[in-house]
Structure 1
């Protein structure tokens, strides 16, 4: 159920070679637009290299170097980071520039707006962004009639319109209007979510009115862009979220592709599925894998069906959406719940020998294949037993405060553990001293990013019905805050250094004084970057100290030894289950399995 390291690496290498061998097709944009697009991608690439420890692309050879494309990406984990990461990877590997659909409200934002406008976006008006206070209060009188809304002192016929929406206070939710019966009675097209419904049913409440928004102009802009051979980027789930599974897809991506092809017979538009796979996207120095799937060519009969309009058009859109969803599932790791995802990741670690290094892109593929196998055999008694055993093992790791790869410390003797502990502690002290200057200088940024991102996450969580913890906005705001505060703080330090030099007549040989300012603006980012990298190594060492201390603790010594035996037994069970059931799920299992018998034996010899 997992991809082989060797074969996949060869495939990826060949794919990358193929990309380089192709003629890169830089999209024809006016010089100024192309310049600003490349500039913003270049600037933010530096920022992303600081925020992420590793960014990998997989399947980039799938990106066509010419012709109109619609990139559909999921899951939408970060509103700001996701599109910019895709822009960078797509431009780097294929030379294509992508125009993402962006909310008009975001384009007007004082911080995000200027950067977003540089990326050649296509504006989208959203009804909820145009909400305004309405007269009176609303309530739902009968629980068995969730679509019927009553008003108290309201003016439904004058202030609302069919196709518009009503929005509850504190961003509890909104619902579209299907019919307006009178000034104090209307019918919704779709009801409020459970939490919002209970709020409206509990008594009269103030509300906001949202106008009916036409997307005709937006679709015309999209069609025109595709007819010219351009690229469009879409997140078909709509808003960002932090769920382990994908949200239901919206129809926009299918309409764009089918509509562009239907209005121009020569527009051979293709849809490229993009999987956004993050490891802790809300934390500094996390990892990301962007996977590009096989382009989807639009069936001509489906385009013809869409062009007929009416019910046939809706059927064509539904069929296209189903095709897009299946394609996205091949490039993403989505799971019905968080606990299952944790079990799948633990099973992957148990299947892989501890000393075997696996590329990040292959880790994603292993997770995906294990998840496919689990979903197919989830009711099999062997899999039910394994899930419970692996979950219990995860719980033991959590109770001891260690990670899976640190269980191996249990086989070390007391002198070996003491030696490692002293060596790593000494190394950590040296690294801490080296990172101290940059840490002190950059401390205000860390404090500000943590505080502001946490507050923004809480606000987003209150305003959303799909977010779990609001982690999807944490990474976004950490980057946004750092983008503004880091240069500002460096300027403050540089001006302080210049003033101190002038006030105390330091370095008289360095004149004019602006050279001090310039030098400080060059040196300060280098110091903070060095502190970041040193701190990264130091944090890895710091995390490794706890299991060593645990091994020396007589109260936990037996627990660690038992846990090591438990891991060995579990690894055998997981490997046996995969080897037996894997061929039933994947016809190419033997050809593309990650661990061959020879690899296992070689790993054993090195222990």
Structure 2
């Protein structure tokens, strides 16, 4: 939810940190930091684990990248963006940080949400820090206001009572969150002066605000919020080596680009270091990357960037009243840069479509052999290239072609990755594949049917309620496009509340039928045993349906393309030809402009490096196997025979893999049908798996030697950091075991 990443309103620019009011000064001075008890930590772990289990059911895959960047101790601020999934974002981030670094994050949450029954219970269990927000206390004012056309700070009222209504109010807000400002002076009942012009969340909101301010509009008022208590809690929390989490964009949204960051996160970091000179705060940018975030069984990737360290010079600037603003702006600039390095942001949806299509078509589906991490990196680099060369006529022409191709795909209902699978000469094989997928879908559908029927009421409820909440969120926001950022949150929340009630109903009905139709001796023990038996059975059936249904839906999605392959060969032939021509043009454009931005661009050099690493890995594996065989107590002839047997098995597996690759020549690196030279195909150096989506077998020694050589050649500041190298090796081993 939007409130999950809330932060204090930070408009103070003339003080190093928010001023403590006299009314609260005495009480604050007596406050002493109390370490969180082990019971609360245990509750935190149990609740977080429970949510992670639920999220593993909703998402097909949740992974993290760059976990070696996570500080294992010390004061840390985890900054997440884009905030695209309401309450889902903080839970995923907390889960990944705890799994990878063993740390607990206390997120800042709106006090309005903190007071709610269910949400408040969760936030308290996760040691969240509540934040009061002026916008949560807005109340409608009497009359209407308009802005003076000559003086934008002068507000003129009609049937207003400013001297009464604005006596204790400091914030003036426009309806529908179109803008806010701070009241400077109340001149009379019908006139007041603003301190600054209205701040608007977007250009669209600014246009609407200018229109209604010229015509006359209703308004809202809210008192000024003293955030000194919240900031002091944060400072103490960080000073004792703990970590906090925040989404500096403020509310959640479904835009393709980052919203402007609010100043609160910078004040927290600078203020904590200013109030305690021994507190060295690190800021970790966390990229929340989703593939269709609102859809069931989608994927999520959390990418951790290099920790940002605040220099003493910036802290000194923050403590100087004349340069406080400059220090805050500089920290926000650094954080924004860090977030953009771990996220894929585009100026609009059309550009995002072009980037994703270009990545898939580049070098004739080259990206299908990239790991998930490298796909994100490739998207980022394509975005950077587009932003740099977007005014080039060739780029604009290519964008129009990509959008036209994407529209044809949408109308035909066939995914892009299936177009290249069309082969008219293998109609019999296609027909057999169609029958096979149809049979698999029918069989798995029958197996999943009982669980789907049991869970059907939950599906209906989640769909209707999430759609209703999205409609409400869209009406109340000026930054959302379709409000899909609230859909996943409400689907999960409704499921959490409705599914247990549904299982209880099934269990009650089942227990009643057993008791009434079959003789069971009365007694609480047997009744409870029957009830919980039905409950566990219901949950098991629905979970099994989830797993089986995943495979069945994959088979179902393949049916329409296969049917089109058989019935509409002319359209598919033209579409395949168009795809190949577009792929070649995209590759030529990328190869022309890419080297101007990125130095690691030649695939041939990269392939040599990858092959060298693979040979080293195979050599290490061979030596390891030889050691294992010798440890079995075999003599030299038996040892030699055993090694030969293992080598034969390995070569057979390699031949099978090569045969499967030969059957689909369009996916090979050096595709002669498209005329693409392998030496000109770009590749990105952070592809850990050498350009393949499948992870290699875990080999500690090879991973260690590989990362050691890479790490020693990196920046000088990391050359002697053995702990970071060990963390990196450990994360690499963990990733390869779980892929």
TM-score (norm 1): 0.89
Paired residues of 1:173 and 1:463 also in contact (CA < 8 A): no
Q: Please state whether the residue corresponding to 1:187 is helix, strand or coil.
A: strand
1:545-584 → structure 2 map (5 Å cutoff)? 545-553=559-567, 556-584=568-596
Does 2:502 align with 1:489? yes
Residues 204 and 82 (structure 1), Cα distance of their counterparts in 2 relative to 1, 3 Å cut: closer
1:589, distance to aligned residue in structure 2 (A): 2.8
Equivalent position of 2:527 in the other structure: 513
Number of aligned residue pairs: 575
Q: Please state whether the residue corresponding to 1:340 is helix, strand or coil.
A: helix
Equivalent position of 2:144 in the other structure: 138
Q: Please state whether the residue corresponding to 1:467 is helix, strand or coil.
A: coil
Equivalent position of 2:442 in the other structure: 429
Equivalent position of 2:651 in the other structure: none
Does 2:98 align with 1:87? no
Distance 2:458 2:663 in 1: 48
Does 2:89 align with 1:77? no
Residues 443 and 199 (structure 1), Cα distance of their counterparts in 2 relative to 1, 3 Å cut: farther
Distance 1:141 1:275 in 2: 40
Equivalent position of 1:322 in the other structure: 333
Corresponding residue to 1:42 among 32, 49, 55: 49
1:303, distance to aligned residue in structure 2 (A): 1.0
Corresponding residue to 2:430 among 412, 417, 436: 417
Q: Please state whether the residue corresponding to 2:172 is helix, strand or coil.
A: strand
1:389, distance to aligned residue in structure 2 (A): 2.2
Which segment drifts farther, 514-523 or 136-145? 136-145
Which segment drifts farther, 182-191 or 432-441? 182-191
Which segment drifts farther, 141-150 or 384-393? 141-150
Paired residues of 2:361 and 2:582 also in contact (CA < 8 A): yes
Corresponding residue to 2:193 among 187, 196, 210: 187
Distance 1:116 1:84 in 2: 10
Please list the CA deviations of residues 168-198 of structure 1 after superposition, one character each: whole Å capped at 9, or x if unmatched.
Answer: 4565654433332222222343336332443
Instruction: Flag the structure with larger Rg.
Output: 2
Residues 564 and 224 (structure 1), Cα distance of their counterparts in 2 relative to 1, 3 Å cut: same
Q: Please state whether the residue corresponding to 2:323 is helix, strand or coil.
A: helix
Q: Which runs of 5+ in 2 are unaligned?
A: 1-33, 201-205, 612-657, 666-739
Paired residues of 2:364 and 2:584 also in contact (CA < 8 A): no
Paired residues of 2:389 and 2:395 also in contact (CA < 8 A): yes
Which segment drifts farther, 152-161 or 104-113? 152-161
Does 2:350 align with 1:344? no
Q: What CA RMSD, in Å, does the superposition of the two structures yield over aligned residues?
A: 2.6
Paired residues of 1:140 and 1:150 also in contact (CA < 8 A): yes
Residues 73 and 396 (structure 1), Cα distance of their counterparts in 2 relative to 1, 3 Å cut: same
Q: Please state whether the residue corresponding to 1:421 is helix, strand or coil.
A: helix
Distance 2:92 2:134 in 1: 27
1:31, distance to aligned residue in structure 2 (A): 0.6
Please list the CA deviations of residues 331-390 of structure 1 after superposition, one character each: whole Å capped at 9, or x if unmatched.
Answer: 000010110111111111112654844322221111111111222222234323322222
1:30, distance to aligned residue in structure 2 (A): 1.8
Which segment drifts farther, 493-502 or 568-577? 568-577
Q: Please state whether the residue corresponding to 1:194 is helix, strand or coil.
A: helix
Q: Which runs of 5+ in 1 are unaligned?
A: 1-26
1:155, distance to aligned residue in structure 2 (A): 2.4
Residues 381 and 120 (structure 1), Cα distance of their counterparts in 2 relative to 1, 3 Å cut: same
Distance 2:152 2:549 in 1: 55
Q: Which has the higher contact order (CA 8 A, sep 6+)?
A: 1
1:578, distance to aligned residue in structure 2 (A): 2.6
Residues 153 and 279 (structure 1), Cα distance of their counterparts in 2 relative to 1, 3 Å cut: same
Which segment drifts farther, 386-395 or 496-505? 386-395
Equivalent position of 2:467 in the other structure: 454
Equivalent position of 2:315 in the other structure: 303
1:414, distance to aligned residue in structure 2 (A): 2.8
1:146, distance to aligned residue in structure 2 (A): 5.0
Distance 1:392 1:345 in 2: 14
Paired residues of 2:272 and 2:279 also in contact (CA < 8 A): yes
Distance 2:558 2:259 in 1: 37
Distance 2:604 2:258 in 1: 27
Distance 1:311 1:150 in 2: 33
Please list the CA deviations of residues 206-256 of structure 1 after superposition, one character each: whole Å capped at 9, or x if unmatched.
Answer: x43211111111111111111101101111111110000000111111111
Equivalent position of 2:679 in the other structure: none
